[in-house]
A and B are shown apart, each in its own frame.
Chain A
């Protein structure tokens, strides 16, 4: 699976959009970009994933550059409860390997939402 690079930490004001970048310059054609987050003392939580098109759900938006070498997770209106470590993970298509699926977590970005 391709390696990802994320900033160690970021700050965001409550109510503002939080934009979390991720570089994955070695991503290959069948690899998806996944985002999970881990709020302090809790298990990781799935946020969103995509292949090449931008994606949006009730939690966030995922913007993937045209060359797919980087992406940005957007939390449109950050709240204090969004303070967490955000992990960007790149892995092969879920249709390859079937059950042989694992997530490889990096260090992630600690997002701190300030009042």
Chain B
């Protein structure tokens, strides 16, 4: 059983387009995250939601809008894509009791 899943795995698109990445976790966790890993392999947090409420926004441009329809889902919508948005985006959820995070397989976004 996949704990944290993301779709799509690969996404290639043109500059200026709008795209969404979906994330689902079946672990029953209350807290979910989006991380971005750029070409230099630095992994940085973007957003965190707890019980569908935004709790962390790490100065991400307004073009990025996370949406959490329920505790098990955290989607990431990106408007007006730019070349610099090319990266691997990871979704994660947190087990509050053990204080550990579980990451999805990542979505590789390429903006042409």
Contact = CB atoms under 8 A, between A and B. Distances in A.
A104 B45 contact: yes
Contacts of B30: 99
A43 B104 contact: yes
A99 B43 contact: no
A49 B99 CA distance: 9
A14 to B, nearest CB: 24
Given A43-B92, A44-B43, A102 B56 contact: yes
The SS class assigned to the B binding surface is strand
Contacts of A94: 96, 99
Contacts of A98: 96
Interface string A14-28: 000000000000000
A46 B100 contact: yes
Most buried by B among A32, A36, A94: A94
Contact of B103 (A32, A44, A100, A101): A44
Interface string B97-109: 0011111111000
A103 B106 contact: no
B101 A46 contact: yes
Given A98-B96, A103-B45, 18 more contacts: A41-B106, A42-B106, A43-B4, A43-B92, A43-B103, A45-B103, A46-B101, A49-B100, A94-B96, A94-B99, A99-B31, A99-B55, A99-B96, A100-B55, A102-B48, A105-B43, A105-B44, A107-B42
8 contacts: A41-B106, A42-B105, A44-B92, A45-B103, A46-B100, A46-B102, A100-B55, A103-B101
Interface of A: 32, 36, 38, 41-46, 49, 85, 94, 98-105, 107
